[in-house]
């Protein structure tokens, strides 16, 4: 029995939701299942195979301190299906608490995931994942604890200003 376009769209959105929970909760096998084996990813801190992304995510998760965490909050989703191929655009807020140069920060990025999906052997999975960064902000958890000189190298104008704070630290998104 074949699925309808609306059923396909919901299955595609469910893969993206599964990705967010798996990535944030460290469910690495489930995260890998969101991708076809030949999938690729381009985000701020990684460009390459999905398998490499999952491995690097696992390594970063293992290095995280107890007070550090991240969360991908998914918003509006727009799916377009053409046969066994589809695109999914998702609004996302990436929320991170982590140490940078000894200071604890809250980091927030407003972004969009732009995914290419393919349906193979009856299952929709991500074939190519990209993240478009709109803007970000970085706030010290303890106000006033970070010297002004910390921000001296942050580009606040030009093309790189939209993800300025991502560039000054590790920003494990």
Residue 163: the pLDDT is: 61
Q: What does DSSP say about strands 35-43 and 123-140: parallel, antiparallel, or unpaired? A: parallel
Per-residue pLDDT of the chain (173 residues), as tens digits, is 678 999 999 999 999 999 999 999 999 999 999 999 999 999 988 999 999 999 999 999 999 999 999 999 999 999 999 999 999 999 999 999 999 889 999 999 999 999 999 999 999 999 999 999 988 898 999 999 999 888 887 777 776 665 666 655 544 44
**Among 112, 172, 131, 130, CA closest to 39:** 130
């Amino acid at each position: 029995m074949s699925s309808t376009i609306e059923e396909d769209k919901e299955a595609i959105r469910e893969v993206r939701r599964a990705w967010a929970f798996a990535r944030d909760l460290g469910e690495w096998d489930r995260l890998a299942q969101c991708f076809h084996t030949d999938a690729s990813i381009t985000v701020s801190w990684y460009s390459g195979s999905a398998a490499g992304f999952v491995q690097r995510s696992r390594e970063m998760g293992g290095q995280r301190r107890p007070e550090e965490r991240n969360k991908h909050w998914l918003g509006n989703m727009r799916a377009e299906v053409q046969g066994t191929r589809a695109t999914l655009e998702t609004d996302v807020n990436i929320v991170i608490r982590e140490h940078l140069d000894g200071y604890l920060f809250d980091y927030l990025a407003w972004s969009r995931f732009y995914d290419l999906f393919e349906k193979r052997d009856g299952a929709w999975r991500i074939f190519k994942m990209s993240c478009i960064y709109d803007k970000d902000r970085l706030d010290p958890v303890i106000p006033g604890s970070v010297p002004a000189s910390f921000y001296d190298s942050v580009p606040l104008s030009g093309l790189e200003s939209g993800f300025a704070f991502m560039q000054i630290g590790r920003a494990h998104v």
